[in-house]
Amino acid sequence: MALAAGLAIVAVGCGRDDFENDPRPALPAEISVEIGDKAVVVSPSEFGAGLVNFTIANLADTPASVEIDGPTVAESEEIAPGATGILKVEVETGDYEASVQGAEAAPFEFEVGPDRESAQDDLLLP
């Protein structure tokens, strides 16, 4: 009986590797993009690299899509006038330009800085 208990303890202890957990990645940045008849506006215009959720509001009179051009390139689906859309992108550090396809809006330049801090100690809510 004692031998079986000893073997059970040894078997449980085998194969365990001590390791550090990788830190949790940064929370996605929530960035607003407004498509107007004359210009496109990105707010805020400076944020850190990593996962970004661009929430796009088309306030123009025509359907349009937003193109992000820089170290990372992405384009949203076409958004109807008065509607909103979301573009999820993993952006790298650098200078970018947001332009509109399908409308006569002037482009907007924005900057993406270094990676954002880990969300390791942040409370994540559903």
Pairing of strands 74-75, 65-69: antiparallel
pLDDT confidence of residue 41: 96
Sign of CA dihedral 115, 116, 117, 119: negative
Whether 117 is in a domain gets the answer no
pLDDT confidence of residue 25: 75
pLDDT confidence of residue 115: 81
Pairing of strands 29-35, 46-58: parallel
Q: For residue range 12-24, what is the model confidence (pLDDT) as tens digits?
A: 555 555 556 677 7
The chain-wide mean pLDDT, for the chain, equals 85
Sign of CA dihedral 82, 87, 93, 96: negative
At 47, which CATH number?
2.60.40.420
Whether 68 is in a domain gets the answer yes
Whether 7 is in a domain gets the answer no
Q: Which structural domain, as residue segments, surrounds residue 63?
A: 29-112
pLDDT confidence of residue 118: 72
Whether 35 is in a domain gets the answer yes
Whether 125 is in a domain gets the answer no
Whether 99 is in a domain gets the answer yes
Whether 37 is in a domain gets the answer yes
Number of domains in the chain: 1
CA 22, CA 120: separation in Å to the nearest integer?
9
- Which of the two residues, 88 and 17, has the higher pLDDT score? 88
Whether 96 is in a domain gets the answer yes
Q: Which two tokens stand for residue 24?
A: 């949790």
